[in-house]
Amino acid sequence: MRLIIVTGMSGSGKTKALDILEDNGYYCLDNLPVKILPEFINMIMNIENFSNRVCITMDVRNSEMTTEALKTLNTISKRVSESGEMKIVFLDCEDSVLMKRYKESRRLHPLMMTEPKLDLQGAIRKEREALAEIKSRADYTIDTSLLTTSDLNVKITKILPKSEKQRLSIAFTAFGYKYGIPSDCDLVFDVRCLPNPYYIDEFKTKTGADKRVRDYVMSHTESKKLFRRITSYLDCAIPMYEQEGRSQLVVGLGCTGGQHRSLTFAILLAQKYKEKGLSTTAFARDSERNVKKYL
C-alpha cells in the first residue's frame, strides 16, 4: 500500500491537498488521532479489496502531535514498508500569510479555541514549535505562501508515482438548444450549422447512437472540418486543464433537438479521447424528451 501523511501549519492548505489526493484515487481521512493510527492501518491492510492508497491529515488539533507522534509514525512506516511505503508531506507557510488568511476567513486558529488567552500571532508561533520535530521528519516540505490551488496541485502530483496520477475525465453532453444549454458545461460547441438528419424520413426518429445516422452526419465536408477544429481546440486545452488541476471537464455539443448531430459528435469525441487514454462518457441529455415527442 501507499500511505501519505499530510501535516503542517493550520491554514497552509491541508484540506486542499486532501482534495487533490482524493481526486487521484486516495482514500482520505481528516485528522485521525495518532493513537488510533496503528490499529487503523492494521485494519485496512487486512480488508480485502480496500484501497491500497490512503491519505491521512494530522494537525495541531491532535493532542499527540509531539515526540510520541513520531514514534507512532516510525512504527507505522515499518509496518507499511512490508508491502509498500509511507511518506510524510509537510505544508508550511509564512506567518504573515497565515495571519492574512485567518483574518480573511474570520476563523479562529485551532489553538485559540483550546487556549483563549492566545492571540493569533501567539497561536501560530506555538503551533510552529509543536510541529518542528515532525517537520524535520517529513519526506516533502511544501511552502504554500505564494501558491495558487493549481500550483499546489502540481506540487502534490509531482510527489505521486506516474502510474497514480489521475488523468482528466471528460463528459461529452449532447443537448438541444430548444431545451436550453446545460448549466454544468465548461465548454459548449454549436453544431447546428451542419446538415440535419431530422429532415430525412429514415433518420427522423433515430439518434446519433445509430451508426447510420453518424455516417450520414460525418459524410459531409462541413462535419469533418468542424470535427477537426473542435478536436484541435481540445488537444490544446486539455493539457492546460490538467495542469490547472481539473479532475473533470464537461463538454456540451448542441444542435436543435440534441438528437442527431450533437450526439454524433459527442459519441465520436468520446471515442477519440478514450483512445488517447482519458476517461470519457457520451450522454444525451434530452433523449427522453425526444422519445416522448414521437409517442
Rounded mean pLDDT, 162-183: 85
The span from the first CA to the last CA of the chain, in angstroms, equals: 54
- What would the grid cell of residue 161 be? 508515482
CA distance 117 to 119: 7
pLDDT at 188: 97
pLDDT at 154: 83
Going along the chain from its start, the domains and CATH numbers come out as: 2-164 (3.40.50.300), 169-293 (no CATH)
pLDDT at 37: 85
pLDDT at 12: 94
Contact 244, 168 (CB under 8 A): no
CA distance 135 to 269: 47
Greater confidence, 127 or 65? 127
Q: Which of 62-66, 181-185, 250-254 is predicted with the least confidence, judged by mean pLDDT?
A: 62-66
Q: Which of 49-53, 109-113, 277-281 is predicted with the least confidence, judged by mean pLDDT?
A: 49-53
- For residue 25, the surrounding DSSP H or E stretch is none
- What would the grid cell of residue 149 be? 490551488
The confidence band for 65, taking pLDDT boundaries of 50, 70 and 90, is: low
Which residues lie below 8 Å from residue 284, measured CB to CB, with a gap of 6+? 174, 207, 208, 209, 258, 259, 262, 263, 266
pTM higher than 0.85: no
Query: Tell me: the pLDDT tens digits for 159-171?
Result: 888 666 567 899 9
pLDDT exceeds cutoff 90 at 122: yes
Length of the chain, please?
295
CA distance 72 to 30: 17
The CA-based angle 135-138-144, given to 5 degrees, is: 70
On the CB side of 158, CA atoms within 13 Å amount to 11
pLDDT exceeds cutoff 90 at 50: no
The confidence band for 110, taking pLDDT boundaries of 50, 70 and 90, is: confident
The confidence band for 149, taking pLDDT boundaries of 50, 70 and 90, is: confident
Rounded mean pLDDT, 101-105: 91
pLDDT exceeds cutoff 50 at 295: no
Rounded mean pLDDT, 187-207: 94
Rounded mean pLDDT, 262-287: 94
pLDDT exceeds cutoff 90 at 106: no
